[in-house]
Amino acid sequence: MNLNRLCSLDLPPEITTNFSCGQQITIDSGPLKGISGKVVRTEGKQYLIIESGIKGILLKVNLEQNAVIGGKTPLKNLVN
């Protein structure tokens, strides 16, 4: 299911927020709404790592292109 949603993406509005590596977050809006994962940082950018639903395959989603919430508290510094 997660893989199908990723394949159907049109680029969402750009949103920027800072997260801590290892932080568990949930996407709050857009085509990936409701998907949770763990924050990682590579090449100076932050990504969300989520399970694809296929054993052994993880997906990397750019956090700057999705609105997210951390835990149960929405993050307020989102930019449209």
Domain boundaries, the chain: 2-73
pTM of model > 0.75: no
Q: Which CATH number fits domain 2-73: 3.40.1440, 2.60.120, 2.30.30, 2.60.40?
A: 2.30.30
Task: Give the residue among 51, 70, 67 at the shortest CA–CA distance from 59.
Answer: 51
Measured in whole angstroms, the distance separating CA 4 from the mean position of its chain's CA atoms is: 15
What is the band of 14 on the pLDDT scale with cuts at 50, 70, 90? very low
* Lowest-confidence pick of 5-9, 29-33, 68-72, 75-79: 75-79
* Lowest-confidence pick of 16-30, 40-54, 62-76: 62-76
What is the band of 17 on the pLDDT scale with cuts at 50, 70, 90? low
Does the pLDDT at position 73 exceed 60?
no
Q: Classify burial at 43, counting beta carbons within 10 Å of its beta carbon; exposed 0-12, middle 13-18, buried 19 or more.
A: exposed
